Structure 1
């Protein structure tokens, strides 16, 4: 049976325009460390990377509903339309497994030639984007779910090239890819319909994650020199309009449902950031080191390396509108770089 535990929580006193954070509960899934977590429509899916399985939880009660075996070690998971899409790695190859959460079984697999490094799914659940990295080459595999076929978007080639983050916008028409190579990092903007790169905005430090909100992209970077930094980029101009210094060694950035808060996994804590005010409003700690977070409505779910999922109710203290806080004066105009063509 799952064991309910009471983790510690530390939070700064919220400002009047930010978020209240209240512990809702936690559960030990008993499948070892959790590498990734996704949530949608009242379901939480966690990747048990040491167990070659995913656990499916009821988001309201945190009860473990099922454990589903996978053909390899899960490295990334996304959820949409009663299905989980899981990037797995084995001794012979990587693949994306499609899991029917109602039938509680794997219903399809897509073999991938290169290593899966990041995964996302379109809002309508019709396309899955799997970032792949090879030797001096990086691309994105696109799975057309209704047609049950796969295509490829070429991203870039270069020494040490890799993709650490992919995110799709609310329309499903633009894909944002975070690349890092020997020269630095870039936010690559891809037109999904044409499968072509439209723009590359130079960032600098290694990119860890990407979040999108109403014409703005938030790019999380981290290195030894500056620690964690969130770069705010206006998509209409391709300009950096601001930065938020976080320090630490963050690894993940997830946008909240109403876009008035974002959550950053930073080694042994989760930082709650107001992307509109660009201020840290809370710091949340749990009993073990957090590995990843997911948001579903007004619930924040934190997975950790001890195999525990902890949920919080996160509600704004008062209504906010995104347009009230969007910066209008850019502070930097990065170069738009031409990427090297990928090798055929």
Structure 2
């Protein structure tokens, strides 16, 4: 992404394609569950068309019904659909915090982010945004919602202050056909991770949320599909025709890619498990399970239709996989933590490749 530039005075780092990192090729995709700890409990039919995105709040699982201009809500205790809430436009992304869901909707005149009170089942506020929203995230305390946007080769992040009901902007940069692919916030809420792809390549942009300034820019390479934070690292999912799906592990202490795992296929989404020992990767006809301890694909979950998105609530032992027919498959993963740790401890340590440090260059 040689042509991508950040606003003047911000720091950019070299690296990416020229940096060395340990590479792993995952085993052939499994046709059946490799362990008995992942069990299908129930398939829930929503009947609202394809599910475009899914998220979990406190005691709720929320689905964006892309073709129905609505959001469905599942009670994780009963696994019943308890509400369907109409929104003013097509819901393209959803995130949740506590008892609130935040939904990006695309309408004819503009995009907007709607805040939904999940207890009351009503839209409580709407924040119109000037340009198209492509990614959504919420801070751990639920006080800020981040919306990635692109317009005329420039990308930025709209910051919605939920308490004050104000909207600010973080400038990210510009590049030919630049697009924000995904957003993620670390547990402290002090770092925002922005995945950006343009006509030349992709980068992980790290933003200081307290100053609203770009802190680091790390080249990745192939188009980014999704990112997830886990234990001092960011897992970056990319996909292209040459290699297929690859997970890049960015060590945030070393500030470089330390591992790459080739998973193949044509993946579109990556979600971290509640215990951060697994990454769930949505592929064309399955959800691959990557063990973050050994960096191996340890399972492959099949559902009755093509999967679209997945979530694993932080306070739950259940995994929810939504699909393009408008259904959600619920899996139990309660006993998998002990199994994964046992497998990891029984193997040799992973030898990481030595990579040169990325050196700053003038912005």
* Preserved contact between residue 51 and residue 322 of structure 2 (Cα < 8 Å): yes
Match runs of 1:305-344 below 5 Å: 305-315=324-334, 316=336, 318=338, 320=341, 329-333=352-356, 335=358
Task: Check 1:317–1:123 CA distance in 2 against 1; reply closer, same or farther (3 A cut).
Answer: closer
Q: 1:39 aligns with which of 52, 56, 60?
A: 56
Say if 2:123 is the partner of 1:106. yes
- Structure 2 counterpart of 1:11: 32
* Preserved contact between residue 199 and residue 337 of structure 1 (Cα < 8 Å): no
Q: Deviations over 1:21-49 (max 9, x none)?
A: 01121210111111011113231100011
> Could you tell me the TM-score, scaled by structure 1's length?
0.90
The number of equivalent residue pairs is 327
In 2, Cα distance between equivalents of 1:257 and 1:338 = 37
Please report how far the alpha carbon of residue 164 of structure 1 lies from its aligned counterpart in structure 2 after TM superposition.
0.6
- Structure 2 counterpart of 1:122: 139
Task: Check 1:235–1:69 CA distance in 2 against 1; reply closer, same or farther (3 A cut).
Answer: same
In 1, Cα distance between equivalents of 2:359 and 2:70 = 41
Say if 2:219 is the partner of 1:188. no
In 2, Cα distance between equivalents of 1:63 and 1:338 = 54
- Structure 2 counterpart of 1:4: none
Please report how far the alpha carbon of residue 10 of structure 1 lies from its aligned counterpart in structure 2 after TM superposition.
5.0
* Preserved contact between residue 159 and residue 168 of structure 2 (Cα < 8 Å): yes
**Greater percentage in strand:** 1
- Structure 2 counterpart of 1:304: 323
Gaps of at least 5 residues in structure 2 are 1-29
- Structure 2 counterpart of 1:161: 178
Please report how far the alpha carbon of residue 136 of structure 1 lies from its aligned counterpart in structure 2 after TM superposition.
0.6
> Could you tell me the TM-score, scaled by structure 2's length?
0.86
Of residues 162-171 and 330-339 in structure 1, the stretch that sits farther from structure 2 once superposed is: 330-339
* Preserved contact between residue 200 and residue 336 of structure 1 (Cα < 8 Å): no
* Preserved contact between residue 33 and residue 304 of structure 1 (Cα < 8 Å): yes
Aligned alpha-carbon RMSD (Å): 2.1
In 1, Cα distance between equivalents of 2:113 and 2:360 = 31
- Structure 2 counterpart of 1:288: 305
Q: Flag the structure with more relative contact order, 1 or 2, with Cα contacts below 8 A and sequence separation at least 6.
A: 2
- Structure 2 counterpart of 1:146: 163
Task: Check 1:334–1:284 CA distance in 2 against 1; reply closer, same or farther (3 A cut).
Answer: farther
Q: Deviations over 1:89-119 (max 9, x none)?
A: 0111100000011111111011111111010
